[in-house]
Structure 1
Amino acid sequence: MDPRKEGMPLKTLSSQPSWPEALLKCLPVLCLVLFLGTVPSSGVCTQLLQGALLCSAMGDACLVWPETFLHGVAAFATAHLLYLRVFGLSPLRPGLLLLVILATATYLSLLLPHLQHAVAGPVVVYALLLAAMLWRGLAHGGSAGRGALLFTMSDAVLAWDSFVWPLPHGRLVTMITYYAAQALFTLSVLRSPRNKAD
């Protein structure tokens, strides 16, 4: 059976999933959750980010097993909804949204032919939420913008490496950019005037 024809992630299918592997994968993100819990007078943005990080950790664990792949996508989609709440809608920057939509549409047009129908729908919905998060992160600027770019790069590399063609050091690039993105999101919240005002 060709895993690509089944539309499932190659890295998940080729590994030997285990709970210790899942815990190790989640540990850096869970450490960020605990770190945010130690921040004195933390505001609503901090609490929302903690929720997003917990959803991300749940997604990390789910992606270890092939049968829970879509559960992982759902967990990360929920995380992006919380990131959107953290970044807010000001400044709006609609021109930036247009660029993000064009880039997302281009990437999806290359990715979708390699996905099974049952996986394609959830992946498209997830990609739209990721694009919205990227738009708001870039509009927010600073650490949030850099984090949003790295998170999007991580997901783009993961999807291509899993569904289309193996990339050199693809998994390493995916995880480094992903953990860096979560750290930058954490830094952006700690510096956020909105958070201090809550």
Structure 2
Amino acid sequence: MQPPWHHLVPFLASVAASFIWFVPKPTPSIGSMVCKCLPVILLVMYLFCLEGWSHTENQLVLVALILSAFGDAFLVFPKSLGLPGVVAFGLAQVAFTCAFGFRSVSWVIGIILYLTVFAVFFVIMILEAIPSHYRIAVPIFILYGILIATMLWRALDRFRLQELLLERRLCTSAGAIIFVLSDLSIIFLQGGGLIPQPYSKFVTIATYYAAQLLITLGASEKFWLQDYPNKMDHEKTGNRGLCE
């Protein structure tokens, strides 16, 4: 048996709906909020129906997805709910980090990622004139950068856990990398105006949904064990992704 890819059809359909109705006209409205949040909500439902509340990594990824959905809803109304949206996504990164765990730690990767975060913010401060009413939020955005860098660090270190299936490790690492690229596209493509709207919005949304899907698949045991039934016991003993 192969992994049940056809079960992801509702998610893919909701992504297509978001591209059709939200990306071209991302106006603040209930309809826009539904279009933007629905794909992540479907991932929550899919992961819960497939895995239930079975193991710690799965539980924390579910929490992170729910927080991401709240962040999506808030950021549809950026002028009034932009800051709560960033906070929700920051908490989601904490949940993802705890899900990936600290069983294998490479301090070199961590230091490189943290230095990169400060370098990116240094470039932003130099190249982009930040309006005065946004400057008070700069420390919050720096903190978010540290949180997402930590999430990426833990995802990359998780790749070395040989007891996990290669497919799961690849999905988690790729999802974390694409998540970071999605956030960077907000800064440099949309904020910096490197490419015109709605193309920059399309890149951000497409990479965001792809990242959430890959991280969800990386957290799923049963999805991949459809193709590896003889590894069930091995997988169960190997998957412990909590903060230690």
Pairs aligned (count): 183
Aligned to 1:19: 30
| Residue 102 (structure 1) shift | 2.4
Contact 1:189–1:195 under 8 Å retained in 2: no
Q: Which amino acid aligns with 2:56?
A: V
Range moving further from structure 2, 102-111 or 157-166: 157-166
Write out per-residue CA displacement over residues 118-177 of structure 1, whole angstroms, 9 at most, x where no aligned residue: 221111111110111111111112211111100000000012234333534211111111
Residue of structure 2 equivalent to 1:3:
none
Q: Provide the residue aligned with 2:193 in structure 1.
A: 165
Match of 1:56 in 2: 68
Cross-structure match for 1:152: 180
Q: How big is the alpha-carbon RMSD for the aligned residues of Structure 1 and Structure 2?
A: 1.9
Q: Does 1:28 align with 2:56?
A: no
* 2:239 matches 1:194: yes
Structure 1 equivalent of residue 125 of structure 2: 112
Per-residue deviation, 1:39: 1.8
Q: Is the 8 A contact 2:26 2:32 kept in 1?
A: no
Percentage identity across aligned positions? Answer: 31
Structure 2 segments unaligned to the other structure (5+ residues): 1-24, 160-169, 222-234
Which residue does 1:5 correspond to in 2? none
In structure 2, what is the Cα distance between the partners aligned to 1:172 and 1:37?
28
**CA displacement at 1:178 relative to structure 2:** 0.7
Pairwise CA distance, 1:48: 1.0
Instruction: With the length of structure 1 as denominator, give the TM-score of the two structures.
Output: 0.85
Point out where structure 1 has 5 or more consecutive residues left out of the alignment.
Answer: 1-13
Tell me if the contact between 2:171 and 2:215 (Cα under 8 Å) persists in the aligned partners. yes
Bigger-Rg structure (1/2): 2
Partner of 2:50, secondary structure, is coil
